[in-house]
Amino acid sequence: MADVTHDLVGRATPLPRFIGSEIYRNSSYGAWHPLRVPRVSTVMDLSRALGWLPSAQFVVSPRAKAAALEGYHTPAYLAALQQAEAAQAVTEDVRQRHGLGTPSNPVFPEMYRRPATSAGASLLAGELLAQGGVIYSPAGGTHHGMPDRANGFCYLNDPVLAIQSLRRNGARRIAYVDIDAHHPDGVEHAFADDPETLLVSVHEENRWPRSGQITVRGAGNLFNLPVPAGLHDDEMALIRDTVILPTVAAFRPDAIVLQCGADAVTEDPQSRLRLSNNAHWAIVAALRPLAPRYLVLGGGGYNPWSVGRLWAGVWAVLNDFEIPDVLPPAAQAVLAALTWQGPIRQHRPEPHWIATLRDQPRVGPIGDDVRQRADHLAARQVVWL
């Protein structure tokens, strides 16, 4: 396979690259934590089973050194995180100050190495995109991490580090778009007052961290759109076409970072939204032409079948691969081998979770509240000079 493709006017561009690592294959936050399920390894295995991930497009993620993480995180926090991994325990002072050793952010064997690897991927992505292109890092998207503490399953904030790396490597104006079910409070903390970073977030209202109330502009370029439970594909398409795409296009970014959390689909236990994976894929495709540098990250996603299928489909979209109606046996075997043990029972997959990648569309009438909120943000869009 050639290592370049061509854009619409015939210019040679590098093929999309997938940054991954084997560290995620056997790493778990614990037997009862939502992140007990395999995710990145499933995407890697599915993509290879479908013939979509040749070695020329796969990049092994480096593990970021602590000094490289100090662009956002404090030295004291990074030292505490490393010590917690080494000791497999934390003191009460560390728990209170840094949020480590809590039910959300537990002590587990790879609690520094695993997030440092996803952060290393985001830092590397900024370097690889210096001359343009597309990078996919499904292990990224840990958008809740704060400078001095773990937050919301996120020990480090790799989207913030990615934006910083992109800027060091020539991207001045950066658009960050987040379609995870949860508001990216850590990224907003870092860039809400930065006029050269556009933040657009669509997230479920009244869901943890219960930030991100409807916002336009702010001190920087901040567009928050909380949406009601039950949001479906047609409503997300309205938001995509009236809020996300016009706002990003008007900003004229040098780079786009998309956090593509998979927890907004119907099957996910951590939200009450009703999207199919088609809604995510449509946004992935629509944003791609709007900047010369494009970084797509993972994020939330807690049903192993739905997150694996959605994120494998993201890789297909980025490469213009055709998604088959029925998966070949090797790909079905990857999905059939997954298990999902909950606190009370073992979850059983629906047949289409094994046989297909694409969900049936989840459509319906546009709710008045969704339309009014989208119209409110659309009316406040500006053209940046």
Q: What is the pLDDT of residues 49-69, one digit of tens each?
A: 999 999 999 999 999 999 999
Predicted confidence band of residue 347 (pLDDT cuts 50, 70, 90):
confident
Residue 350 forms part of a structural domain: yes
Does the annotation mark 144 as catalytic?
A: yes
Residue 299 forms part of a structural domain: yes
Residue 8 forms part of a structural domain: no
Domain residue limits at 306: 15-379
Residue 2 forms part of a structural domain: no
pLDDT of residue 344: 62
Of the candidate ranges 97-106, 112-121, 314-323, 334-343, the one whose mean pLDDT is the lowest: 334-343
Catalytic residue among 73, 143, 144, 203: 144
For residue 290, what is the DSSP state? G
Residue 59 forms part of a structural domain: yes
Residue 4 forms part of a structural domain: no
Q: What count of residues does the chain have?
A: 385
Residue 131 forms part of a structural domain: yes
CA distances from 64 to 41, 70, 79, 110, 155 (A): 20, 10, 14, 14, 13
Q: Is 29 left (phi over 0), alpha (psi -120 to 50) or beta?
A: alpha
Query: In the chain, how many domains are there?
Result: 1
Residue 113 forms part of a structural domain: yes
Q: What is the pLDDT of residues 318-328, one digit of tens each?
A: 999 999 999 99
Say which CATH number the domain at 362 has: 3.40.800.20
Predicted confidence band of residue 30 (pLDDT cuts 50, 70, 90):
very high
